[in-house]
Amino acid sequence: MIIIAAKVVVRPECVQQFKDLLPPLIGSCRNDEGCISYDVYESVDLPCGYFFFEKWATQQDFDEQMQSPHVQSFLSAVQPLLTAPSEIKQYSVAGIGPK
């Protein structure tokens, strides 16, 4: 399993437009092959900051999702709304703790 954590900061005047783009993206991604979870959170301490937390069964599932039409459409639409490029971090499960 891989875990994705992505941060975006939206221009203040574009927040509603950004929020309007989320429901179709989230719904489509949650139905993609290998999606374990896909959630978006609004920051409580970073103005106009949003965090995407995703869990994917395999790297291939994540890679295919990133090339899907719904993700490519979202990325094209969201870029002009952001103050800077998104920051994406990828993690794997450490395997620490009870089984």
* pLDDT tens-digit series, residues 46-83: 999 999 999 999 999 999 999 999 999 999 999 999 99
Q: Residue 54: what residue type?
A: E
The pLDDT, as a whole number, for residue 93 is 82
- Answer yes or no: is 78 within a domain: yes
- Answer yes or no: is 66 within a domain: yes
The strand ranges marked E within the chain are 2-9, 35-42, 49-56, 87-92
The parent domain of residue 69 ranges over: 2-89
* pLDDT tens-digit series, residues 17-46: 999 999 999 999 999 999 999 999 999 999
Q: Residue 74: what residue type?
A: F
The pLDDT, as a whole number, for residue 98 is 67
The pLDDT, as a whole number, for residue 99 is 61
- Answer yes or no: is 40 within a domain: yes
- Answer yes or no: is 94 within a domain: no
**CA-wise closest residue to 26 among 10, 11, 1, 6:** 6
DSSP run (H or E) holding 65: helix 59-66
pTM (2 d.p.)? 0.89
* Pairwise CA distance, residues 41 & 2, whole Å: 19
- Answer yes or no: is 22 within a domain: yes
Counting the structural domains of the chain, the total is 1
* CATH code of residue 56: 3.30.70.100
The pLDDT, as a whole number, for residue 95 is 73
